[in-house]
Amino acid sequence: MRLKRPALLLSLLSCSSLCLPVAVSAADAPKGNGHDAKTALYTVVDGNKVDAKTLMGWKTWRAMACERCHGPNQEGLVGPALVNSLKVLTKDQFHTTITQGRLEKGMPNFGGVKMVTDNWENLYAFLKGRSDGNIMTGHLYPIPGK
């Protein structure tokens, strides 16, 4: 009898560690209607294939792990939902925010990171595409033949 309790506890623990990733991956599932769009900032095909610059913007987002605070779908966590912010912020304000940070409010300063200073406009284009609802969440790919 004494051995049964730890076994029960173990099975509960393994459930909580297995069930959580399932819930998270459901939230990460691609969303959007997979359409084509072309604006002055970005080109997107099927919602998940983008021009080379926008792809670099997405890669910068991933490399900097902006999702830790802004969420994997840019819909906010401890930091604001950038899908909303990008409807309001000017390009200049965006630039200032990521290169100077808002340290007292928890937004780090990426101004010393070459990948960000080289790609901030690409990052802006990617986030605009998300905010416009033209770029889907999830993995992005190059446009074939480009």
Interface ranges with ligand HEC (CB under 6 A): 64, 66, 68-70, 78-80, 82, 85, 89, 94, 97-98, 102, 105-108, 110, 116, 123
Rounded Cα gap, residues 87 and 84, in angstroms: 6
Cβ proximity to ligand HEC, 37 vs 107, nearer residue: 107
Residue 82 CB neighbour total at 10 angstroms: 24
Nearest approach in angstroms of CB 7 to ligand HEC is 40
Helix (H) or strand (E) holding 43: strand 43-45
Classify residue 98 as exposed, middle or buried by CB count within 10 Å of its CB (0-12, 13-18, 19+).
buried
Give residue 84's Cα distance to chain centre: 13
Residue whose CB is less far from ligand HEC, 45 or 119: 119
Q: How far is the CB of 31 from ligand HEC (least distance, A)?
A: 20
Question: In whole angstroms, how close is the CB of 75 to ligand HEC at the nearest point?
Answer: 13
